[in-house]
């Protein structure tokens, strides 16, 4: 049997009930990590946990909203109670949307910002309470190619650009520690959210694509969720031990 790359590690992964987050959780569990996964929907979350446990992995699911400071604290408390430590944090939860700036009202703007940027800030802040005393830990933010090529909704793209900046800011703050912070920036990846977006069914519909379509290489080649999970595994394992403050774009060359 090959040596597991994350043996005895504990990973918190937000937004892990489907899509990329689910694939990350399943891969990390196969590589020996105990995974603490969150989502707002209990049914899909429970199914992921059950599947991991059936394959011999360790997993706990927590219904939690990344917009809630109380929920965030509860996730870390549960991880410590169940597994005794936290070693890896993946900020994957987020909202995809296609609202053009003309239709982005204050309530929607704040909702997207609070989820896509506020969530990672809350989770990183809480993780550092564990990582700093032991001088060890890994933080991975799931950004998007939209962080540098902003063709989706105005609020969404702004939060992904901000998340890239946050990644570097946190890495700079931690530069003299053994804690590393990086980001993975997926391109078009075949997930339920991506398929909904292609169908013009995300909030805002397809209006923005009328303007951004010629910047977007939607015909392919599209990535698989496992491509993004492998990138996270690289950053979380010893393979990425000297990688800090980087945004690793995984897009099969479609968004160069």
Rg (C-alpha) for the chain, rounded Å, is 17
What's the burial of 71, exposed, middle or buried (CB within 10 Å: 0-12/13-18/19+)?
middle
- Chain center to CA of 159: 13
Tokens at 83, concatenated: 């597994």
Question: Containing H/E element for 112?
Answer: helix 106-113
Q: Active-site residue among 18, 123, 156, 217?
A: 156
156 is catalytic: yes
Distance, in Å, from the CA atom of 183 to the CA atom of 206, rounded to the nearest integer, reads: 27
Tokens at 239, concatenated: 């393979």
Q: In the structure, how many helices (H) and strands (E) does the chain have?
A: 9, 7
Residues catalogued as catalytic: 156
């Amino acid at each position: 049997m090959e040596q597991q790359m994350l043996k005895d590690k504990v990973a918190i992964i937000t937004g892990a009930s489907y899509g990329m987050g689910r694939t990350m959780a399943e891969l990390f569990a196969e590589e020996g990590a105990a995974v603490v996964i969150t989502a707002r929907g209990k049914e899909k979350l429970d199914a992921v946990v059950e599947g991991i446990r059936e394959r011999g992995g360790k997993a706990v699911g927590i219904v939690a909203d990344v917009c809630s400071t109380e929920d965030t604290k509860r996730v870390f408390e549960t991880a410590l109670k169940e597994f005794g430590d936290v070693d890896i944090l993946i900020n994957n939860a987020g909202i995809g949307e296609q609202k053009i700036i003309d239709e982005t009202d204050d309530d929607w703007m704040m909702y997207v910002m609070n989820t896509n940027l506020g969530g990672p800030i809350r989770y990183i802040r809480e993780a550092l309470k564990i990582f700093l005393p032991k001088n060890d830990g890994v933080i991975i933010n799931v950004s998007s190619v939209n962080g540098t090529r902003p063709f989706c909704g105005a609020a969404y793209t702004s939060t992904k650009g901000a998340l890239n900046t946050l990644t570097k800011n946190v890495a700079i703050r931690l530069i003299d520690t053994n804690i590393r912070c990086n980001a993975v920036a997926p391109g078009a990846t075949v997930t339920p959210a991506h398929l909904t977006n292609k169908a013009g069914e995300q909030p805002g519909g397809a209006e923005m694509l009328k303007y951004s379509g010629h910047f977007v290489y939607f015909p392919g080649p599209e990535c698989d969720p496992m491509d993004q999970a492998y990138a996270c595994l690289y950053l979380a394992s010893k393979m990425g031990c000297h990688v800090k403050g980087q945004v690793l774009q995984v897009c099969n060359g479609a968004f160069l």
